[in-house]
Amino acid sequence: MAERRNIVHMDLDSFFVSVERLYDSRLMGKPILIGGSGDRGVVASCSYEARKFGVHSAMPMRTARQLCPEALQIRGDFAKYSQKSNEITEIVRESVPLFEKASIDEFYVDYTGMDRFFGCYKMAQELRQKIIKESGLPISLGLSQNKTVSKVATGEAKPNNEKQIPYGQEKLFLAPLSVRKIPMIGKKTSHTLYNMGVKKIHTLQAMPAELLESAFGKNGLMIWEKANGIDRSLITPYSEAKSISTENTFEQDTIDVALLEATLTAMTEQLAGKLRQQQKLASTVSVKIRYSDFDTHTVQRRVSYTSADHVLLPLIKALFQQLYQRRLLIRLIGVRFSGLVHGHYQINLFEDTEERISLYQALDRLNGKYGDKTVCRAIGMSVGSRKFNPFNGKEN
């Protein structure tokens, strides 16, 4: 008989807002909007006081201000948030045998097998209290036999609380909830379900899996399984060592700066696309050059977690200009992103507009469906696309 799993999901409550309040107690109890200051900016995070007015993350800032005119608007400091995230990651790392960092403010912990020695829920509660005490930040948790149910349980526990779903009670717990509570169901899928007359999870549970498969393809089966409390996905162990990189050795050594920059642009776009595809964010960028005499130099810089082309490209170009001092023929150039964590591009919204977010989503869909460089910047079109393993930088 398979061992019962014990999976904890932990999520810091309104993380960006909570960090700001840690540094400025005058913000306590007030409606807060964090995000881009322009009319076309987007809400990166908002307080529970603002949510009462219908404000939510990823909403256009102008809409949020209309809904909640009295809200205080803060531009946000991603470096500060990254630092607090690292502090909490260290607390979790010291306390548990296996964990996954799903994003800057979200963790999964695998306590499977630990209940024969200690109570898993008690251990999870103690970890939560340790995080609150040492970081000063509110955090909620859910415990169940899988990642999906635990994540939903965390959502139901918020703010700053905890919820356990006993083994065998998963379907019963999910049944009365809105279909939007299922992690993979977004606005478009939920709209289709509403048109089918499906608003609550209990309706999904009663539907044949084949019907959902015919409506949504293979995702339909995943929706049916999650609605029924089934999720076999494993914890992805957190590791700071992972990196993503690629190199290009030129057929002929070159000093053509236009060609070198075009190659860097193409490689950066390709790697950033892979980051978003893998739902990862990088905190360090590196550029490497090898001259014709095989003299090799590398320079790197730490950045706030990102996977956005428009953030990474200027950095890569600046590092290349810093590095390329000898004006000798170049044999090879390379780009590496490291210090990776799991997370979505959308968590970094301070400078983003609705149009930019939509652009990245459309770009990634097209390149994912039709292959790398289906859509890319014009400067990179002259550089051929090369298939490579993004986590070792070697061509396949």
Binning pLDDT at 50, 70 and 90, where does residue 82 land? confident
Q: Is the pLDDT of residue 387 over 60?
A: no
Q: What is the pLDDT of residue 347?
A: 44
- Minimum mean pLDDT among 28-32, 129-133, 259-263, 277-281: which range? 277-281
DSSP assigned state of 342: E
Q: Is the pLDDT of residue 393 over 50?
A: no
Binning pLDDT at 50, 70 and 90, where does residue 263 land? very high
Binning pLDDT at 50, 70 and 90, where does residue 3 land? confident
Strands 280-291 and 296-306, bridge-based pairing? antiparallel
Beta-carbon neighbour count of residue 64 at 10 Å? 25
Overall size of the chain counted in residues:
396
Let me know the angle formed at the C-alpha of 238 by 46 and 367, rounded to the nearest 5 degrees: 70
First-to-last CA distance in the chain? 40
DSSP assigned state of 387: -
Give the C-alpha distances (Å, rounded to integers) separating 61 from 142, 216, 391: 31, 32, 37
Residues 6 or more apart whose CB falls under 8 angstroms from that of 372 comprise 270, 273, 385, 387
Catalytic site residue 106?
Answer: yes
- Average of pLDDT values for 309-313? 90
Annotated binding site for Mg(2+): 11, 105
The token duo for 140 is 């909620």
Cα 121 from Cα 126, distance rounded (Å): 9
Cα 47 from Cα 13, distance rounded (Å): 9
- Minimum mean pLDDT among 63-72, 164-173, 217-226, 269-278: which range? 269-278
- Structural domains in the chain plus CATH codes: 1-163 (3.30.70.270), 168-239 (1.10.150.20), 243-380 (3.30.1490.100)
Annotated binding site: 11, 105
- Average of pLDDT values for 293-321? 91
Q: What is the pLDDT of residue 113?
A: 87
Beta-carbon neighbour count of residue 30 at 10 Å? 14
Q: What is the pLDDT of residues 147-161, one digit of tens each?
A: 999 999 999 999 999
Q: What is the pLDDT of residues 68-78, one digit of tens each?
A: 999 999 988 87
Of all residues in the chain, what percent carry a pLDDT higher than 90?
A: 64
- Average of pLDDT values for 81-106? 92
Residues 6 or more apart whose CB falls under 8 angstroms from that of 216 comprise 189, 192, 223
Q: Which of these is catalytic: 20, 49, 100, 106?
A: 106
Q: Is the pLDDT of residue 47 over 90?
A: yes
